[in-house]
Amino acid sequence: MKEVIVIAGPTASGKTSLSIELAKLLNGEIISADSMQVYKYMDIGTAKPSAEEMQGIRHYLIDELLPNEEFNVVKFKEAAEKYIEEILEKGKQPIIAGGTGLYISSLINNINFSETVSDWELRKQLEREAEEHGPVHIHDKLKLVDPASAASIHPNNVKRVIRALEVYYQTQKPISYHNEKSREIPPKYKFILLGLTMEREKLYDRINKRVDSMLENGLIDEVERLVELGYADSITSMQGIGYKEILSYLRNEITLEEAVETVKRESRRYAKRQITWFKRVKEIKWFSIDNSGNTNNMIEAVITYIRSHCA
Protein backbone atom coordinates (compact mmCIF):
# COMPACT_ATOMS: atom_id res chain seq x y z
CA MET A 1 0.00 0.00 0.00
CA LYS A 2 1.43 3.36 -1.06
CA GLU A 3 2.08 5.99 1.61
CA VAL A 4 0.53 9.47 1.54
CA ILE A 5 1.79 12.10 3.98
CA VAL A 6 -0.82 14.40 5.53
CA ILE A 7 0.10 17.63 7.34
CA ALA A 8 -2.74 19.07 9.43
CA GLY A 9 -3.11 21.79 12.02
CA PRO A 10 -4.62 25.21 12.66
CA THR A 11 -4.19 28.28 10.50
CA ALA A 12 -0.79 30.01 10.79
CA SER A 13 0.86 26.95 12.38
CA GLY A 14 3.46 26.47 9.63
CA LYS A 15 1.88 23.74 7.45
CA THR A 16 2.95 25.37 4.17
CA SER A 17 6.57 25.75 5.23
CA LEU A 18 6.82 22.18 6.52
CA SER A 19 5.13 20.68 3.45
CA ILE A 20 7.58 22.43 1.10
CA GLU A 21 10.61 21.34 3.14
CA LEU A 22 9.36 17.73 3.18
CA ALA A 23 8.64 17.82 -0.56
CA LYS A 24 12.22 18.96 -1.21
CA LEU A 25 13.67 16.21 0.99
CA LEU A 26 11.35 13.38 -0.12
CA ASN A 27 10.91 14.19 -3.83
CA GLY A 28 7.30 15.11 -3.16
CA GLU A 29 4.48 17.15 -4.63
CA ILE A 30 1.81 18.91 -2.60
CA ILE A 31 -1.99 18.76 -2.72
CA SER A 32 -3.70 21.60 -0.88
CA ALA A 33 -6.50 20.65 1.53
CA ASP A 34 -7.67 24.24 1.89
CA SER A 35 -11.20 25.26 0.93
CA MET A 36 -10.14 28.77 -0.19
CA GLN A 37 -6.73 28.50 -1.84
CA VAL A 38 -8.31 26.66 -4.76
CA TYR A 39 -9.72 29.99 -6.02
CA LYS A 40 -7.96 32.30 -8.46
CA TYR A 41 -7.55 36.01 -7.58
CA MET A 42 -7.86 35.20 -3.86
CA ASP A 43 -4.22 35.19 -2.81
CA ILE A 44 -3.61 37.50 0.13
CA GLY A 45 -6.69 36.70 2.22
CA THR A 46 -6.13 32.94 1.84
CA ALA A 47 -2.40 33.09 2.76
CA LYS A 48 -1.71 31.30 -0.52
CA PRO A 49 1.98 30.45 -1.02
CA SER A 50 3.64 32.54 -3.73
CA ALA A 51 5.62 31.01 -6.59
CA GLU A 52 8.79 32.02 -4.75
CA GLU A 53 7.63 30.33 -1.53
CA MET A 54 6.77 27.14 -3.46
CA GLN A 55 10.47 26.84 -4.40
CA GLY A 56 9.69 24.97 -7.60
CA ILE A 57 7.56 22.32 -5.86
CA ARG A 58 4.44 21.40 -7.83
CA HIS A 59 1.23 22.28 -5.99
CA TYR A 60 -2.28 21.01 -6.79
CA LEU A 61 -5.70 22.45 -5.91
CA ILE A 62 -4.31 25.98 -5.80
CA ASP A 63 -5.58 28.55 -8.33
CA GLU A 64 -7.74 25.98 -10.13
CA LEU A 65 -11.23 27.55 -9.93
CA LEU A 66 -12.86 30.93 -10.42
CA PRO A 67 -14.32 32.43 -7.22
CA ASN A 68 -17.92 31.77 -8.34
CA GLU A 69 -17.33 28.07 -9.05
CA GLU A 70 -18.51 25.56 -6.47
CA PHE A 71 -15.94 23.62 -4.47
CA ASN A 72 -16.90 21.22 -1.74
CA VAL A 73 -15.71 18.09 0.05
CA VAL A 74 -17.03 15.80 -2.71
CA LYS A 75 -15.08 17.64 -5.40
CA PHE A 76 -12.03 17.86 -3.17
CA LYS A 77 -11.94 14.09 -2.54
CA GLU A 78 -12.36 13.27 -6.23
CA ALA A 79 -9.62 15.71 -7.28
CA ALA A 80 -7.25 14.77 -4.44
CA GLU A 81 -7.43 11.05 -5.25
CA LYS A 82 -6.84 11.79 -8.93
CA TYR A 83 -3.78 13.90 -8.10
CA ILE A 84 -2.44 11.31 -5.64
CA GLU A 85 -2.45 8.75 -8.45
CA GLU A 86 -0.74 11.19 -10.84
CA ILE A 87 2.00 11.95 -8.30
CA LEU A 88 2.56 8.25 -7.53
CA GLU A 89 2.76 7.42 -11.26
CA LYS A 90 5.64 9.91 -11.51
CA GLY A 91 7.42 8.05 -8.71
CA LYS A 92 7.02 10.98 -6.33
CA GLN A 93 5.71 11.32 -2.77
CA PRO A 94 2.17 12.78 -2.39
CA ILE A 95 1.86 15.28 0.47
CA ILE A 96 -1.55 16.61 1.57
CA ALA A 97 -1.31 19.91 3.45
CA GLY A 98 -4.15 21.99 4.80
CA GLY A 99 -6.44 22.92 7.62
CA THR A 100 -9.90 22.02 6.31
CA GLY A 101 -10.69 19.13 8.63
CA LEU A 102 -13.66 17.79 6.69
CA TYR A 103 -11.54 17.51 3.54
CA ILE A 104 -8.78 15.60 5.29
CA SER A 105 -11.28 13.33 7.07
CA SER A 106 -12.93 12.48 3.74
CA LEU A 107 -9.62 11.07 2.51
CA ILE A 108 -8.26 9.29 5.56
CA ASN A 109 -11.65 7.75 6.39
CA ASN A 110 -12.49 7.05 2.75
CA ILE A 111 -15.96 8.56 3.02
CA ASN A 112 -17.99 7.84 -0.10
CA PHE A 113 -20.28 10.77 -0.84
CA SER A 114 -21.63 9.46 -4.14
CA GLU A 115 -24.25 7.27 -2.45
CA THR A 116 -26.37 10.28 -1.54
CA VAL A 117 -27.74 12.21 -4.49
CA SER A 118 -28.46 15.94 -4.30
CA ASP A 119 -31.88 17.55 -4.07
CA TRP A 120 -31.29 21.07 -5.39
CA GLU A 121 -34.87 22.27 -4.88
CA LEU A 122 -34.87 21.20 -1.24
CA ARG A 123 -31.45 22.81 -0.75
CA LYS A 124 -32.66 26.14 -2.17
CA GLN A 125 -35.76 26.01 0.03
CA LEU A 126 -33.66 25.42 3.16
CA GLU A 127 -31.27 28.22 2.15
CA ARG A 128 -34.24 30.60 1.87
CA GLU A 129 -35.48 29.50 5.32
CA ALA A 130 -32.03 30.13 6.79
CA GLU A 131 -31.98 33.63 5.30
CA GLU A 132 -35.49 34.45 6.54
CA HIS A 133 -35.43 32.86 9.99
CA GLY A 134 -31.73 32.59 10.78
CA PRO A 135 -29.29 29.68 11.16
CA VAL A 136 -30.65 28.54 14.54
CA HIS A 137 -34.04 27.81 12.95
CA ILE A 138 -32.45 25.41 10.45
CA HIS A 139 -30.22 23.89 13.12
CA ASP A 140 -33.29 23.20 15.29
CA LYS A 141 -34.80 21.27 12.37
CA LEU A 142 -31.70 19.11 12.24
CA LYS A 143 -31.86 18.51 16.00
CA LEU A 144 -35.31 16.94 15.58
CA VAL A 145 -34.26 14.39 12.95
CA ASP A 146 -30.53 13.89 13.52
CA PRO A 147 -29.43 15.04 16.99
CA ALA A 148 -25.99 13.44 16.64
CA SER A 149 -25.14 15.51 13.56
CA ALA A 150 -26.67 18.63 15.12
CA ALA A 151 -24.36 18.20 18.11
CA SER A 152 -21.28 18.03 15.88
CA ILE A 153 -22.17 20.86 13.45
CA HIS A 154 -22.11 24.48 14.59
CA PRO A 155 -25.40 26.34 13.89
CA ASN A 156 -23.49 28.99 11.91
CA ASN A 157 -22.20 26.37 9.50
CA VAL A 158 -25.42 26.64 7.51
CA LYS A 159 -24.04 24.80 4.49
CA ARG A 160 -23.26 21.62 6.46
CA VAL A 161 -26.53 21.83 8.44
CA ILE A 162 -28.47 22.00 5.19
CA ARG A 163 -26.50 19.12 3.69
CA ALA A 164 -27.24 16.95 6.75
CA LEU A 165 -30.96 17.76 6.44
CA GLU A 166 -30.87 17.07 2.70
CA VAL A 167 -29.37 13.61 3.23
CA TYR A 168 -31.86 12.77 5.98
CA TYR A 169 -34.92 13.87 3.98
CA GLN A 170 -33.70 11.86 0.96
CA THR A 171 -32.83 8.63 2.75
CA GLN A 172 -34.59 8.79 6.13
CA LYS A 173 -31.20 8.01 7.67
CA PRO A 174 -28.76 10.50 9.28
CA ILE A 175 -25.66 11.57 7.37
CA SER A 176 -23.56 9.93 10.13
CA TYR A 177 -25.04 6.55 9.09
CA HIS A 178 -23.92 7.03 5.47
CA ASN A 179 -20.48 8.18 6.60
CA GLU A 180 -20.04 5.13 8.81
CA LYS A 181 -21.19 2.76 6.04
CA SER A 182 -18.72 4.26 3.58
CA ARG A 183 -15.88 3.93 6.12
CA GLU A 184 -16.31 0.15 5.99
CA ILE A 185 -14.29 0.20 2.75
CA PRO A 186 -10.64 0.73 3.75
CA PRO A 187 -8.65 3.55 2.12
CA LYS A 188 -6.47 2.78 -0.91
CA TYR A 189 -3.43 4.39 0.71
CA LYS A 190 -1.54 4.30 3.98
CA PHE A 191 -1.85 7.79 5.43
CA ILE A 192 0.97 9.08 7.62
CA LEU A 193 -0.67 11.83 9.65
CA LEU A 194 1.37 14.72 11.03
CA GLY A 195 -0.07 17.53 13.15
CA LEU A 196 1.50 20.89 13.96
CA THR A 197 0.89 22.46 17.34
CA MET A 198 2.21 25.32 19.46
CA GLU A 199 1.30 27.27 22.58
CA ARG A 200 -2.14 28.84 22.10
CA GLU A 201 -0.92 32.34 22.96
CA LYS A 202 1.90 32.05 20.42
CA LEU A 203 -0.49 30.78 17.75
CA TYR A 204 -2.92 33.65 18.34
CA ASP A 205 -0.04 36.13 18.14
CA ARG A 206 1.01 34.63 14.79
CA ILE A 207 -2.58 34.88 13.53
CA ASN A 208 -2.84 38.55 14.54
CA LYS A 209 0.46 39.36 12.85
CA ARG A 210 -0.57 37.48 9.72
CA VAL A 211 -3.74 39.57 9.45
CA ASP A 212 -1.70 42.77 9.84
CA SER A 213 0.61 41.52 7.09
CA MET A 214 -2.36 40.80 4.81
CA LEU A 215 -3.50 44.42 5.16
CA GLU A 216 0.00 45.70 4.46
CA ASN A 217 0.28 43.46 1.40
CA GLY A 218 -2.94 44.76 -0.17
CA LEU A 219 -5.94 42.77 1.08
CA ILE A 220 -8.26 45.75 0.57
CA ASP A 221 -7.09 46.12 -3.05
CA GLU A 222 -7.58 42.39 -3.58
CA VAL A 223 -11.20 42.54 -2.37
CA GLU A 224 -11.87 45.67 -4.47
CA ARG A 225 -10.55 43.86 -7.54
CA LEU A 226 -12.81 40.88 -6.90
CA VAL A 227 -15.81 43.23 -6.70
CA GLU A 228 -14.72 44.91 -9.95
CA LEU A 229 -14.51 41.48 -11.61
CA GLY A 230 -18.17 40.97 -10.69
CA TYR A 231 -17.86 38.53 -7.82
CA ALA A 232 -20.76 39.38 -5.53
CA ASP A 233 -20.65 38.93 -1.78
CA SER A 234 -23.38 36.30 -2.02
CA ILE A 235 -21.05 33.63 -3.46
CA THR A 236 -19.50 31.18 -1.01
CA SER A 237 -15.88 32.17 -1.58
CA MET A 238 -16.59 35.83 -0.73
CA GLN A 239 -17.97 34.71 2.65
CA GLY A 240 -14.51 33.53 3.67
CA ILE A 241 -12.81 35.08 6.70
CA GLY A 242 -11.06 38.26 5.64
CA TYR A 243 -13.21 38.81 2.58
CA LYS A 244 -16.65 39.37 4.08
CA GLU A 245 -15.26 41.76 6.73
CA ILE A 246 -13.38 43.88 4.19
CA LEU A 247 -16.51 43.93 2.03
CA SER A 248 -18.44 45.34 4.98
CA TYR A 249 -15.76 48.01 5.37
CA LEU A 250 -15.92 48.90 1.66
CA ARG A 251 -19.70 49.29 1.97
CA ASN A 252 -19.16 51.67 4.92
CA GLU A 253 -20.98 49.33 7.29
CA ILE A 254 -18.02 49.15 9.69
CA THR A 255 -14.73 50.99 10.15
CA LEU A 256 -11.44 49.56 8.94
CA GLU A 257 -10.35 49.07 12.55
CA GLU A 258 -13.54 47.09 13.27
CA ALA A 259 -13.00 45.00 10.12
CA VAL A 260 -9.42 44.15 11.07
CA GLU A 261 -10.31 43.23 14.65
CA THR A 262 -13.16 41.03 13.39
CA VAL A 263 -10.86 39.22 10.95
CA LYS A 264 -8.39 38.56 13.77
CA ARG A 265 -11.11 37.36 16.15
CA GLU A 266 -12.77 35.09 13.57
CA SER A 267 -9.38 33.68 12.51
CA ARG A 268 -8.56 32.83 16.14
CA ARG A 269 -11.96 31.18 16.56
CA TYR A 270 -11.43 29.21 13.37
CA ALA A 271 -8.04 28.03 14.64
CA LYS A 272 -9.68 26.85 17.86
CA ARG A 273 -12.25 24.85 15.87
CA GLN A 274 -9.48 23.33 13.74
CA ILE A 275 -7.56 22.25 16.84
CA THR A 276 -10.71 20.65 18.30
CA TRP A 277 -11.38 18.80 15.02
CA PHE A 278 -7.86 17.44 14.56
CA LYS A 279 -7.42 16.47 18.22
CA ARG A 280 -10.20 13.93 17.65
CA VAL A 281 -8.06 12.14 15.03
CA LYS A 282 -6.17 9.63 17.17
CA GLU A 283 -3.74 8.60 14.42
CA ILE A 284 -2.13 12.05 14.17
CA LYS A 285 1.43 12.35 15.46
CA TRP A 286 1.80 15.86 16.87
CA PHE A 287 4.94 17.94 16.48
CA SER A 288 5.40 21.13 18.47
CA ILE A 289 6.73 24.31 16.84
CA ASP A 290 9.30 26.09 19.01
CA ASN A 291 8.87 29.71 20.11
CA SER A 292 10.76 31.03 17.09
CA GLY A 293 8.19 29.39 14.80
CA ASN A 294 11.05 27.75 12.89
CA THR A 295 10.13 24.33 11.48
CA ASN A 296 13.78 23.46 10.77
CA ASN A 297 14.25 22.38 14.39
CA MET A 298 11.81 19.52 14.00
CA ILE A 299 12.39 18.44 10.38
CA GLU A 300 14.72 15.63 11.44
CA ALA A 301 12.17 14.24 13.92
CA VAL A 302 9.44 14.41 11.29
CA ILE A 303 11.56 12.61 8.68
CA THR A 304 12.51 9.91 11.21
CA TYR A 305 8.83 9.38 12.06
CA ILE A 306 7.82 9.18 8.38
CA ARG A 307 10.55 6.67 7.53
CA SER A 308 9.63 4.49 10.52
CA HIS A 309 6.08 4.24 9.12
CA CYS A 310 6.99 3.56 5.50
CA ALA A 311 7.10 0.05 4.14
Report whether 80 belongs to an annotated binding site. no
Report whether 14 belongs to an annotated binding site. yes
Q: 123, 127, 113, 34: which is closest to 78 by C-alpha?
A: 113
Work out whether strand 190-197 and strand 285-288 pair parallel, antiparallel, or are unpaired. parallel
The count of other CB atoms within 10 Å of the CB of residue 18 is: 23
- Report how far apart, in Å, the C-alpha atoms of 99 and of each of 103, 259, 286 are: 8, 23, 14
- Report how far apart, in Å, the C-alpha atoms of 272 and of each of 17, 87, 236, 268, 279 are: 21, 32, 22, 6, 11
The count of other CB atoms within 10 Å of the CB of residue 156 is: 12
- The whole-angstrom separation of Cα 293 and Cα 12 is 10
Q: Which helix (H) or strand (E) element contains residue 206?
A: helix 200-216
Report whether 234 belongs to an annotated binding site. no
Report whether 15 belongs to an annotated binding site. yes
Report whether 13 belongs to an annotated binding site. yes
Report whether 12 belongs to an annotated binding site. yes
The binding site comprises 9-16
The binding site for ATP comprises 9-16
The binding site for substrate comprises 11-16
